[in-house]
Chains A and B, each alone.
Chain A
Amino acid sequence: MSVTTDAAAARPAAEVRLPGVGLFAGGLTALLALIVGIPLLMVVLMSLRTGFPGEGGPLTLTNFAAVYSNSGTYKVLGNTLLFATGTVFVALLFAVPLVWLLMRTDLPFKGAIYVLMTVGILIPVFLRTIAWILLLSPRIGLVNQWARQLFGMEQPLLSLYNIPGMAVIQGVSFVPSAFFMLAAAYRTMDPALEEAAYTSGVSKLQTFLRINVPITLPAIAGVMVYLFMTAIAVFEVPAIIGYPARIIVLSALIFTSTNPPTGLPNYGLAGAYGAVMLAAGLLLAYFYVRLVQHGKKYTVITGRGYRPREIALGRWKWAALAFALLYLAMEVFIPFLVLVWVSLLPHLQVPSAEAFAQVSLENFRHIFDHVGALPFVNTAILMFVVPTVTMVLSVLVSWIVVRTNVSFRGALDTLAFLPHAIPGILLAVGLAYLGLAYRSWFPVYGTVAIIAIAHTITWIAYGTRTTNGVMIQVHRELEEAGKVSGASTRTVLGRIVLPLIAAGIFNSWIWISMLSYREVTMALTLGTRKNVVISTIVWQFWGNGWVPQVAALGVVLVLFAVIVVGGLKIAFGHLGEWQS
């Protein structure tokens, strides 16, 4: 999650001058420019055209006129801003104290909290959202059903169907990424800065407020901008909670323009809405990069890497643990338990003796009957192809950016970072338009390949950030020492560089595989009958109201992810040992 110009700036003087490197770098840059640029171009193009994709006609501003003369649009923009702001607020409300608690205090069970936070990432946002609806929906929600039975309440106890409700669910889902980004920034900070305040006679609270917070502020601001950028484009919570409650945000509007429940798709309108989102995304990405660079000034290289003493929480220990547990309950425990409970029953009902009598694995047994093998095959293809292609491209890009002196390596790095700023839903709409309008040149519409392409473009930003970091860590002198020992370039790459970067690349591979596995927005936007994947199947079930089946498939989805990631970490955990 570092910055685009990072690698180019931190890199020592480049030395590789091989014939053909320039040509290769040029080709790679052109390829990246094409795969990132064309979908964006399509979004702009579709916003300027009317009619079906592929119908020519003159370029026109009709769509923009239609969209921006409609007062409903401004209501949508208002909702989007409120939702995004609320989401960022909720995410930071949990993430900032958690970073401090886990990194500086003697909070018990830190290891377990870390692991559960990672598990939280593996629960797809749409499943968590569905679980919370099953709990808090005014009509069918378990809590409200229970309140009716118990207290005879007429009004629902709690409802999610409002902007704060949406912001809480989305915000909780953002906490792990906010946490890991902030923790990374916190780690580069000298613990002596805090200790110097204590030795100056300043209390812990004052130190937290006057030293920790101001020093972390650039990092927090960076995370805020990043989360905001992501929040204005997220689709899952707005579609599952917002749309049925008629709280429409931009992403839902773009989706329904291209996939209307009734009537014909209108790509022109989607493009006009998308243009705002794209402009906002790019602007925020620019601010993000600026903020992260500013934050760099605050990082100090310390004389030695001693671990600061953990602050004893004393009698606050249990309150702090309760806070962490509250978060984990919202993020992991409650959603997962709700899914498990619902998956074991023929229909949604609150726990009772009667309900317990009906518990069975029936729903799990029939998963295959309902969906067949196709979604599993398609998902498996994505999970293998997407990370592999992404990591190959990332390694090549990083090698040029970090290890060569090609003049446009900075531009290449920026290009690889750009997808970070492009909302997934726009990328997918752009690709869908490309596939429909230029079918003969780009004959992949309706195949799993087009989803794979969308995923690869999106995660190349993440992939290159990792590979840049890994390659910078492998000091050039390690390579040079190999060459001086008389090893050939091939031997140096194979025996020295590759083993050193393997762990980092493998980790990224797993993560991208998992992200692809749980991704639903792009898969849904690009989806047809033929390229269904598991996540879109769950979505369809939910649309059909097959609640127990959704829960059963959801439980399988989460368990599979946890087992795969856990298993791989245990099996290959030793790979990263020397990097710590």
Chain B
Amino acid sequence: MITIRGLKKWFDTRRGRVEALRGIDLEIGEREFCVLLGPSGCGKTTTLRCVAGLERPDAGEIEIEGVTVNAPARRVYVPTEKRDIGMVFQSYAIWPHMNVFQNVAFPLVRGRKRFGKELVAEKVRRALHLVQLDGLEDRPATDLSGGQQQRVAMARAMVTEPKILLMDEPLSNLDARLREQMRVELKKITRAVGVTTLYVTHDQAEALSLGDRVCVMHGGEILQVAAPDEVYARPANIFVAEFVGEMNFVKAKIAAGSVECALGSLELPVPPAFAAAGAVTLAIRPEHVELAAADGASGPLVGTIASKNYLGDAALVEIEVNGVTLLAKLPGDTEIAVGQRAAVVLRPERWRVFAE
């Protein structure tokens, strides 16, 4: 359990005050896998480092397992080494002067709770088994590949069986194929151990596949906290819509009972909050832009294919309709070609409406 309330952090620079966190409120439940997602500089790493105690917030409170670890207003600060956490760093931070065993055993031998020799050996063996590094105990840390270092870092973070696991872009230094493999494994391991996890990434695919909940951050604020499918299907605002997955945007005006835009008059359920706004932005995912043969029976919207980007399993097609360029995601084997005309079908329930 992690509870974050009104967390603020600022830096005073020569050009004035920079607010890194503008009041973060977040509750992470027991055994939950929560992902902080956002572009660089959004404050996700700062939030994580505050939870770790590596960074000290200027206002707000953090509770771990019911214990207040940060409350600057009350001068409460529990130093990192006294918090029941494990952490995996972006650079792995494998100590180069120790071998694999010594790295993983270090928290047990020098940490909060210390254990006898045999128990340490047993715990290290189990941790290395968990990350599939059995038998590499004596390997010097400097002789490990990137993927192996990543696993050692995992084992070291988990060996004390902490209640909380913190991960700071742990997969970003791996190459693409290995990253996907590790992503699947990481999910399995944390599930198996049942640890509460806070995970920072800027990679939306990683966030959607790993998280029980995804917390999208921007400019030191949380924009949306929800299950991955919810974030993808019902983004809270334009920024989330744009950052998570691809999205087509169309400017529109609200008229009585319908929405007017370059694509014509659309029959959409407009949330009452926007009815008074007048101007809105419409959004639709590329996979929801359907194309059909442009024969007489088709609907009113017909466009010309402007470009086609073949990706193997899919093809991304740009189609120009009434001066609007829409991106459509089609199956890879589509025979549609640049210059062809096609009818565009946009189902009303697929549209999302955002304030401008």
**Do A and B share a complex?**
yes
User: Which residues of A does B touch, CB under 8 Å?
Assistant: 190, 192-193, 195-204, 206-207, 210-211, 214-215, 217, 297-298, 300-304, 306, 309
Query: Which residue of chain A has its CB nearest to the CB of B82?
Result: A201
Which residue of B56, B89, B166 is within 8 Å of A309 (Cβ)? B56
Q: Mark B97-109, 1 if CB is under 8 A from A, else 0.
A: 1000000001100
A199 with B106: CB separation less than 8 A = no
Indicate if B278 sits at the interface (CB-CB under 8 A).
Answer: no
A198 with B54: CB separation less than 8 A = yes
A188 to chain B, nearest CB (A): 12
A200 with B93: CB separation less than 8 A = no
Query: Which residue of chain B has its CB nearest to the CB of A202?
Result: B110
Indicate if B111 sits at the interface (CB-CB under 8 A).
Answer: yes
Q: Nearest 7 A-B pairs (CB), nearest first?
A: A201-B111, A200-B107, A201-B112, A192-B93, A199-B87, A198-B80, A196-B93
B54 with A197: CB separation less than 8 A = no
Query: Which residue of chain B has its CB nearest to the CB of A308?
Result: B54
A215 to chain B, nearest CB (A): 6
Indicate if B96 sits at the interface (CB-CB under 8 A).
Answer: yes
- B-chain residues with CB within 8 Å of residue A303 when the two chains form the complex: 90-91, 169, 172-173
B150 to chain A, nearest CB (A): 12
A202 with B91: CB separation less than 8 A = no
Query: Which residue of chain B has its CB nearest to the CB of A302?
Result: B91
* A195–B81 CA distance with the chains assembled, in angstroms: 9
Which bracket fits the contact residues of B? 35 or more
B111 with A195: CB separation less than 8 A = no
B107 with A201: CB separation less than 8 A = yes
For window 163-209 of B, CB contacts with A under 8 Å fall at 166, 169, 172-173
* A489–B107 CA distance with the chains assembled, in angstroms: 57
B97 with A298: CB separation less than 8 A = yes
User: Which residues of B does A touch, CB under 8 Å?
Assistant: 45, 49, 52-56, 79-83, 85-87, 89-93, 95-97, 106-107, 110-113, 142, 153, 156-157, 160, 166, 169, 172-173
B111 with A200: CB separation less than 8 A = yes
* A562–B216 CA distance with the chains assembled, in angstroms: 53
A532 to chain B, nearest CB (A): 48
Question: Beyond A192-B90, A215-B96, A297-B96, is A200–B156 a contact (Cβ under 8 Å)?
Answer: yes
A263 to chain B, nearest CB (A): 56
B48 to chain A, nearest CB (A): 11
B52 with A206: CB separation less than 8 A = no
Query: Which residue of chain A has its CB nearest to the CB of B160?
Result: A201
16 contacts between A and B (CB under 8 A): A190-B91, A192-B93, A198-B81, A199-B86, A200-B106, A200-B107, A201-B113, A201-B160, A202-B81, A202-B106, A210-B110, A298-B97, A302-B90, A309-B49, A309-B54, A309-B55
B156 with A196: CB separation less than 8 A = yes
* A207–B79 CA distance with the chains assembled, in angstroms: 13
B55 with A195: CB separation less than 8 A = no
- A-chain residues with CB within 8 Å of residue B156 when the two chains form the complex: 196, 200
B13 to chain A, nearest CB (A): 12
Which residue of A192, A202, A297 is within 8 Å of B142 (Cβ)? A297
B54 with A196: CB separation less than 8 A = no
B93 with A193: CB separation less than 8 A = yes
A201 with B89: CB separation less than 8 A = no
* A206–B157 CA distance with the chains assembled, in angstroms: 18
B97 to chain A, nearest CB (A): 5
* A298–B160 CA distance with the chains assembled, in angstroms: 26
* A172–B82 CA distance with the chains assembled, in angstroms: 38
A145 to chain B, nearest CB (A): 50
* A215–B56 CA distance with the chains assembled, in angstroms: 26
- A-chain residues with CB within 8 Å of residue B55 when the two chains form the complex: 309
A202 with B111: CB separation less than 8 A = yes
Query: Which residue of chain B has its CB nearest to the CB of A306?
Result: B45
* A155–B110 CA distance with the chains assembled, in angstroms: 51
* A202–B89 CA distance with the chains assembled, in angstroms: 16
* A4–B288 CA distance with the chains assembled, in angstroms: 62
B169 with A195: CB separation less than 8 A = no
Query: Which residue of chain B has its CB nearest to the CB of A204?
Result: B81
* A297–B144 CA distance with the chains assembled, in angstroms: 12
Given known contacts A202-B106, A297-B142, what 16 new A-B pairs fall within 8 Å (CB)? A192-B93, A193-B96, A195-B52, A195-B87, A196-B89, A196-B95, A198-B53, A198-B54, A199-B81, A206-B110, A207-B81, A217-B97, A298-B97, A300-B96, A303-B91, A303-B169
* A198–B113 CA distance with the chains assembled, in angstroms: 13
Which residue of B80, B86, B157, B173 is within 8 Å of A195 (Cβ)? B80
B53 with A193: CB separation less than 8 A = no
B56 with A199: CB separation less than 8 A = no
B110 with A199: CB separation less than 8 A = no
B157 with A304: CB separation less than 8 A = no
Query: Which residue of chain A has its CB nearest to the CB of B90?
Result: A303
A59 to chain B, nearest CB (A): 50
B179 to chain A, nearest CB (A): 13
B106 with A197: CB separation less than 8 A = yes
Question: Beyond A200-B111, A201-B111, A309-B56, is A304–B95 a contact (Cβ under 8 Å)?
Answer: no
Query: Which residue of chain B has its CB nearest to the CB of A207?
Result: B81
- A-chain residues with CB within 8 Å of residue B83 when the two chains form the complex: 199, 201
- A-chain residues with CB within 8 Å of residue B53 when the two chains form the complex: 198
A215 with B95: CB separation less than 8 A = yes
- B-chain residues with CB within 8 Å of residue A193 when the two chains form the complex: 93, 95-96
A111 to chain B, nearest CB (A): 13
- A-chain residues with CB within 8 Å of residue B96 when the two chains form the complex: 193, 215, 297-298, 300
A199 with B80: CB separation less than 8 A = yes
- B-chain residues with CB within 8 Å of residue A301 when the two chains form the complex: 91
B296 to chain A, nearest CB (A): 54
B170 to chain A, nearest CB (A): 10
A202 to chain B, nearest CB (A): 5
- B-chain residues with CB within 8 Å of residue A309 when the two chains form the complex: 49, 54-56
* A306–B41 CA distance with the chains assembled, in angstroms: 11
* A57–B96 CA distance with the chains assembled, in angstroms: 59
